[in-house]
Amino acid sequence: KKSMPFYGKTVMVSAGPTYEAIDPVRFIGNHSSGKMGFAIADEFAKLGADVTLIAGPSTQKANQNLKRIDIISAQDMLNACSSIFDNTDITVMCAAVADYKPKVVSVQKIKKQENNLTLELEKTTDILASLGKNKKPHQILVGFALETNDEENYAKGKLEKKNLDLVILNSLNDKGAGFKSDTNKITIFNKALEKTVFDMKSKTEVAKDICEAILKIIK
Ligand code: C5P
């Protein structure tokens, strides 16, 4: 059916931030609202896909009928994504996953010290890159790139390094784009490094553009 172009397709979308625990009351997080990822998940569901949304801590609610798995940390998100990736046709990783986490999570609340406190951080696993390594030829993998400088080159680099089919660049330099706003301005690069620039739109409209770009690959 024309209105259900993703009918029969299984889709995974990651959304929101991750929280990396420091101790029982504190964490390292970021300003991601989850709005973009939820909009993408909703749009895919609307277009007939069987959608699983892997959501970090976010106040967003999905409007469509989809499976939602709530997670907290980057490690949780890695576990959830890895466990279902083999059974997905299309994956869009929109989450703002922490790149570092405290090396040691204190069991007790850390007490205020006399002097400065140093936290040692270790790298988290790059989920998108790890999925890219395991990607099968029929699977489509899409990543986001949020940069503050030299954005196009970083975006193209990610496309190749992480074995992606599309990379979606959204810039913090554009007013009304990025984390908390209801609008976004994106540029899409495909594998041939062809570039499509879109106008500033509501995140719902942006999600439609992203689904359309993915549909072009499938066809
Ligand atoms: O390399 P960078 O983190 O900027 O790439 C961003 C893309 O990678 C996004 O699609 C994001 O969801 C994904 N990512 C991930 N796991 C990480 C870090 C980023 O899936 N640990």
* Tens of pLDDT, residues 85-107: 999 999 999 999 999 999 999 99
Mind giving me the DSSP string for the chain?
-TT-TTTT-EEEEEESB--EEEETTEEE-----SHHHHHHHHHHHHTT-EEEEEE-S------SS-EEEE--SHHHHHHHHHHHHTT-SEEEE--B--SEEESS--SSPPPPPSS-----EEEPP-HHHHHHHH--TT-EEEEEEEESSSHHHHHHHHHHHTT-SEEEEEETTSTT-SSSSSEE-EEEEETT--EEE---EEHHHHHHHHHHHHHHHH-
pTM of the model: 0.95
Specify the ligand 1 atom closest to the Cα of 98. 21
Mean pLDDT of 79-85: 98
pLDDT value, residue 59? 96
The CA distance from 167 to 145, in Å, is 7
pLDDT value, residue 197? 95
Q: What is the pLDDT of residues 106-158, one digit of tens each?
A: 999 999 999 999 999 999 999 999 999 999 999 999 999 988 788 888 889 99
Ligand 1 centroid, distance to 45 Cα (angstroms): 23
The CA distance from 104 to 77, in Å, is 19
- Sorted by where each starts, the structural domains of the chain and their CATH numbers stand as 10-97+121-218 (3.40.50.10300)
pLDDT value, residue 179? 72
ipTM given for this complex: 0.93
Q: Is the pLDDT of residue 79 over 90?
A: yes
Q: What is the mean pLDDT of the chain?
A: 95
Distances (CA, A) of 113 to 21, 104, 118, 121, 204: 19, 17, 11, 19, 47
Ligand 1 centroid, distance to 201 Cα (angstroms): 23
User: Could you tell which of 93, 141, 188 is best to mutate to test the pocket of ligand 1, judged by most ligand atoms within 8 Å of the CB?
Assistant: 93
End-to-end CA distance of the chain: 14
> Residues lining ligand 1, CB < 6 A?
14, 74, 93-95, 97, 99, 124, 126-128, 143-145, 158
Contact in structure between 99 and 124 (CB atoms under 8 Å): yes
User: Could you tell which of 40, 126, 184 is best to mutate to test the pocket of ligand 1, judged by most ligand atoms within 8 Å of the CB?
Assistant: 126
pLDDT value, residue 2? 67
Q: Is the pLDDT of residue 53 over 70?
A: yes
Ligand 1 centroid, distance to 127 Cα (angstroms): 7
pLDDT value, residue 174? 74
Q: What is the pLDDT of residues 165-180, one digit of tens each?
A: 999 998 777 777 767 7
User: Does 9 belong to an annotated binding site?
Assistant: no
Mean pLDDT of 177-188: 85
Residue 30 falls in the annotated catalytic set: yes
Q: What is the pLDDT of residues 25-48, one digit of tens each?
A: 999 999 999 999 999 999 999 999
Of 30, 63, 79, 190, catalytic: 30
Mean pLDDT of 201-211: 97
pLDDT value, residue 184? 92
